[in-house]
Chains A and B, each alone.
Chain A
Amino acid sequence: MFIKPYGDTSDDGAVQLSFTLPVKNSGRAKEAARQYVQKLGFKKAEVVHAAALSEDFTFFVAYGKTDIGLDYDKVEYAEAVDKYMSMDEVNDFIKTHFKRKLVIVGACTGTDAHTVGIDAIMNMKGYNHHFGLERYPMLETYNLGSQVPNEKLLEFARKVKADAVLVSQIVTQKDVHIKNLTELIELAEAEKVRGKMLIVMGGPRVNNKLAKELGYDAGFGAGSYADHVATFVAKKLYERMTGKN
């Protein structure tokens, strides 16, 4: 199935754009913006708004129409888990299949000081009416907070015999998160703990695809909650235990 953006009619290919060019606001600047949108490959381009940000910069809102379509059947993306369980279901699942608590260690690593992501997943309170992992009776959790060095995280995970490690990355400027996440995996491999525990990443700018590319077991992006992570951890460990994977 070929798809194109839907503006006000099927397959019209309408796309909304906004951007800034480093030129003074003028008729010429507006024309330049229009031509730029065309150069991006849009057939019809219309600049609907231009505002000076300073003497050297102008902000534009524009609409373009594209002929480019995409074969949706060829798009591949593996969700970390197909079907999520609720908190109670996760607990029952762990009780039935493991007969012990699962140990989860979470941290925001590197220089990143933003605990908002790991807290949303782990704190008792949770986020947006999804209780955090600390509330799960069958999970033993440790939230190490922010700015945790990768070495410390792994050292702690080994000490408490973690079943899963959750690493959160919020700051992504200049791809610092990629560097940091890669370092953690390399360290885990060097210390031979890679196969012994699940290593899962989370953050607004990561997803399951990136996770697989970097060698993580899963990645959870924006809109993920504790039940998603808990389901994945429980099911994946079960698969490993029963040799299904």
Chain B
Amino acid sequence: MTPVKSKLGLSKPKIDQARKLAAGITSPVQAFIAAHTTVTIERATLRLLGADGANADGVPVPNLIASQCGEKLAGGAASFYLNALVKLDKTPAELNKEIEKGLNLCDIPFTDDKRIQKKADEILKGLDARIAGNVAHRNAKLKAGKGKVKSPMIYVIVATGNIYEDVKQAQAAALQGADIIAVIRTTGQSLLDYVPYGATTEGFGGTYATQENFRIMRAALDEIVEKEGRYIRLVNYCSGLCMPEIAAMGALERLDMMLNDSMYGILFRDINMYRTFTDQFFSRMINTAADIIINTGEDNYLTTSDAVEKAHTVLASQFLNENFAANAGMPNRLMGLGHAFEINPELKNGFLYEYAQAQMAREIFPEHPLKYMPPTKFMTGDIFKGLAMNTLFNFVSKATDQGIHLLGMLTEAIHTPYLQDRHLAIDNALYVHNTMADFMNDIEFKKDGIMARRARQVLDETVEMLAEVKKHGLFAAIETGMFAEIKRPRDGGKGFDGVYEKAPGYYNPVEAYLKKKLKVGK
């Protein structure tokens, strides 16, 4: 880690202690993960091997195969698909058509393991080349447009429900200066145990994440990349019951960022904790292989709890997310650890606490592209006050060199953003970025002032909390409501029945490929 002189006077041993505690907390969870697979990990594996499409009822091919496998998923779904490719001598596209029409892969007698492995090697070679091609393309465009991407990167959201309307809004936002476009998912998608197929035009509060929608938006943004000579990153949501499948689709279609948190689904979507922990690991390996930056969801802690009292829960979660990501082979430069500007605007000196928290995150995570979220909880519908709050948020973001700057909308709490709302937000951010371009390097904080004391207090509380979590274990800590004041039983929540203990001889060539590529588990 790059040594950075702490302007806040943070204690290096304290930070090291927090990291050590986080490693101690994730270690037993990691042991559980290693021994388990889930139905969506198997489906993601199938997708990466070529399974795609859906039957006449809209059931996706990977789901059809998973239902055929049933309890045999514990041994891995890949061998059934690979075996069918070998025995029927078909390409994945041809085989997918047969599966759509009702072919049951479990009815096909098994060929020998060597031929299955040979088929796997052949497909994985193609997969590796496709992902490497995506990474190379992105890097070339980033290099060509060097200096044009803002710092922090400007991130806006589109959420029309109709991918073709999303395209218009995303292109307009990119032309105005946005560096990152996120397509919000339709409300409720995180609880679907399948990924819908094809282009979609109906969604509530967002648009379905489908591979075809990914492709449509990627192509639309690439048009702007050519026009502007500046790379535009595309974001989607690698969360919910299909976390690894979304990661797989993103890797194939050159998404650049994914919302991806190790605990968000458990706490805020009531998804089973075993399922989530196992899924996040596999997802993060895919994201890492495809050089996709993850955005973690710590901002959510502050929308349910008080941002001053519970600031340490954000930092504690950042340490855990960092450690879980590192376990999946992810380098720091891909970890967009989240936090948010959510202190009550009526609080005296609230701005100083926000600034201290953001600066603290910057100093503790110097190489990480921190993801900074705007005010939402205290946005009231007074759009003028909202714009003022967003300006102060922009100030902190620039003053502390955040990596990913999600712009606040003046109409937050009213409606999904209008075309003009993004324009006003981008204009505001560009103004702040420019007028205080070198502010960060020019400023120092008073020793033992309000901000330095605040940051120290949050770090101290974080270490205390992590020590407490470690004492009980992460599973028990979540059960007793230590995170976000939400209690989740370990055998409760959605998706628990999709968790399988790996059977002896479990076979997953994609997992083996990822682990080898990322040097995981060595």
Contact = CB atoms under 8 A, between A and B. Distances in A.
Interface residues of B, number: 37
B190 A57 contact: no
A59 B426 CA distance: 14
A10 interface: no
B304 A115 contact: yes
B198 interface: no
B419 interface: yes
B175 A54 contact: yes
Interface stretch (A30-38, A87-95, A169-177): A169-177
Interface residues of A, number: 31
B416 interface: yes
Residues of B contacting A: mostly: loop
Residue of B171, B172, B381, B485 with highest tally of chain A CB at under 10 A: B172
B499 to A, nearest CB: 21
Contacts of A145: 270, 486
Contact of B176 (A53, A119, A147): A53
Nearest to B381: A222
Given A19-B420, A54-B172, A204 B381 contact: yes
> Nearest 7 A-B pairs (CB), nearest first?
A111-B188, A54-B172, A59-B420, A171-B205, A111-B187, A53-B172, A20-B420
A176 B416 CA distance: 14
A204 B344 contact: no
29 contacts: A18-B420, A53-B175, A53-B176, A53-B420, A54-B171, A54-B176, A55-B175, A56-B168, A56-B172, A111-B191, A112-B187, A113-B190, A113-B269, A115-B268, A116-B303, A116-B304, A119-B304, A128-B344, A145-B486, A146-B268, A146-B269, A147-B191, A147-B269, A171-B187, A173-B161, A174-B161, A204-B381, A204-B413, A223-B380
Nearest to A113: B187
Contact of A116 (B346, B377, B416): B377
A174 B344 CA distance: 30
A53 B423 contact: yes
Nearest to A176: B204
A123 interface: yes
Interface in A127-148: 128-129, 145-147
A128 B380 CA distance: 12
Contacts of B303: 116
Interface string A82-119: 00000000000000000000000000000111011001
A-side interface mostly: loop
A111 B306 contact: no
B414 interface: yes
A30 to B, nearest CB: 15
A173 B377 contact: no
Contacts of A129: 346
A116 B416 CA distance: 16
Contact of B172 (A57, A125, A172, A223): A57
Interface in B479-506: 485-486
A68 interface: no
A173 B423 contact: no
Interface string A182-220: 000000000000000000000010000000000000000
Nearest to B187: A111
A156 to B, nearest CB: 15
A159 B168 CA distance: 49
B304 A20 contact: no
Contacts of B376: 116
A173 B204 contact: yes
A241 interface: no
